[in-house]
Amino acid sequence: MLTESPDRPDRKHTTCTTAEFQSVRSVSTGRGYDDSPDTSAGFTRLVTLDDGPERDVVRDELVTVWLPMAHRIAGRFRNRGEAIEDLRQIAALGLVKAVDRFDPARGAFESYAVPTITGEVKRHFRDRMWAVRVPRRVQDLRNRVRVARRELSQRPGAAEPTPADIAAHTRLTEDEVSAGLEAMESFSALSLDAETGTGADGYSLGDTLGGTDSSFDTIVDREAAKKELRRLPEQQRAVLYMRFFEDMTQSRIAEKLGISQMQVSRLITRSCALVRQGALAQ
């Protein structure tokens, strides 16, 4: 539809409604999809508009027209642990990004939008769907191993592929294949309440986990105190050793060192305070 520009009556530009967009199919791609309209005029107009209501209308029309394509791409990822409606929302987000970033001078919109939308959906699976966070390299190994195992299993008369078979097919090492296979189990997680036994002897996964060993705290405290104990004068170290390692009373320590029991008590209090202060300052 041709309309005259209100500010330049001598110039005309093309505007299309949503219905007109949907009625024109892409001829250059040779595609038979109903979601491949010719929206070149809409994109040409979009890039000439500044931010504002008019641009928002054109942008919304373009998104609406191409939305079936985004839904079709989302459908490729069904049955992978994510609801199809959620996948369609992610694909729609990718479509909006594609519309905003597309430069009509660089070719057909579909050629730009398909990888953009697909990448958005794949990014969602990569970043949001893992129950256990694993490095990107391990995620890539998982994908390569998964594809290779499917391809090898589909061969006529093929048995379940071994790690060696997958390694030969993907040109990965067997250690890398093992890492990929382990990552396939990290995509989802079991609840700690999940039953791992059967019958009356059944127990939950949480029951198999160990508890905190208080002895570790003792080791940490002992190592922290060693350095400060070495800094004490010899008499104070001797008093602490006799009191805490030989379990001697203050009176017996005083008798052995030839000092009063009160002096022993003060030495112990002062020495413990110095060791504690030094250990906490580390």
* Cα(144)–Cα(64) distance, integer angstroms: 35
Per-residue pLDDT tens over the stretch 12-22:
343 444 444 44
Q: What is the dihedral of CA 165, 167, 173, 176, to 10 degrees?
A: -110
Per-residue pLDDT tens over the stretch 240-251:
989 988 899 999
> pTM score > 0.85 for this model?
no
Residue range 136-193+198-207, CATH number: 1.10.10
Domains 136-193+198-207 and 214-280 equal at CATH topology level:
yes
Q: Which fold has domain 2-128?
A: Rna Polymerase Sigma Factor; Chain: A (1.10.1740)
Per-residue pLDDT tens over the stretch 214-273:
777 778 777 888 888 888 899 998 999 899 888 999 999 999 999 999 999 999 999 999
N residues, the chain: 282
Given CATH 3.40.1690.10, say whether it is the number of domain 214-280: no
User: What are the sequence ranges of the domains in the chain?
Assistant: 2-128, 136-193+198-207, 214-280
